[in-house]
Amino acid sequence: MSVRFVESCQLPTPFAVFDMHGFEEVETGQEHVLLSLGDVGNGEPVLARTHSECLTGDGLFSLRCDCGFQLEQALQSIANEGRGVLMYLRQEGRGIGLLNKIRAYHLQDQGADTVEANEKLGFAADMRDYSICGPMLQHLGIDALRLMTNNPRKVKALELVGVRIVERLPLEVGRNPHNDGYLTTKASKLGHWLKSHQDDDLGV
C-alpha cells in the first residue's frame, strides 16, 4: 500500500492537546488521521487504539453500538498516561460505508443481528483493512503497541503488517439495553473478548 503523509497540526480536546497527523492512501484517495500525545518515537511500546470511523456513535451519540464510548475512553486513557496514539480510520460501518450502514440498521430494526444484516446486503461481516496502520506508525517511529481492543482479528491484522502487539488491554464500556444484542453478536459471531457477555443478564 502506498501512503502519503499530508500534514500535522495541534488538536485541542477535552482530554489533552493532541498532535493530529493526516495521511492519504495514494491509490484510493482515502483519508485517515492519527492522533499522538507525548514522545511516541522513543522506542518504548506505545498505548494505542485503532478506531474505525462511526458517525452515528462518535458524532451523533448513538446507543446502538459502543464506538463512541470506546473512542472517549481511549482518548482519556492516552491523556491519563501522557503518551499514546489513536489511529482513526475512515472505514464507516465496518467498511461498508454510511448509507449501507443505514440499510443494515434498517434490517436490524426488523430483527437481523449486525452480522446477518451485512450478509443480507451482500457484504462480509467485517470488511475493514488495517494495512494503513503500518505506514502511519512507521512515520512516527513506532513499532510496538499496547493495544486497547476487544477484537482478536484486529490484533492479528496489525501483526500481519509488521506491528508488534506486546499487550492487549480490554476496552469494555458503554453497554446499555440498546446495544446489548449487538455486543452479544460481536462476542458470539465475531469472536470479540467481552467478559460482560459471559452472562446474558444485562444486570450482571
Provide the annotated active-site residues: 126, 128
- Name which of 69, 12, 77 is nearest 48 in CA terms: 77
- Name which of 57, 32, 77, 68 is nearest 167 in CA terms: 77
| Three cell numbers, residue 180 | 446489548
Q: CA-to-CA distance for 90 and 113, rounded, in angstroms?
A: 23
Q: Do 8 and 19 contact (CB within 8 A), yes or no?
A: yes
- Name which of 190, 181, 178 is nearest 61 in CA terms: 178
CA distances from 124 to 72, 118, 147, 181 (A): 28, 6, 25, 19
| Three cell numbers, residue 161 | 503488517
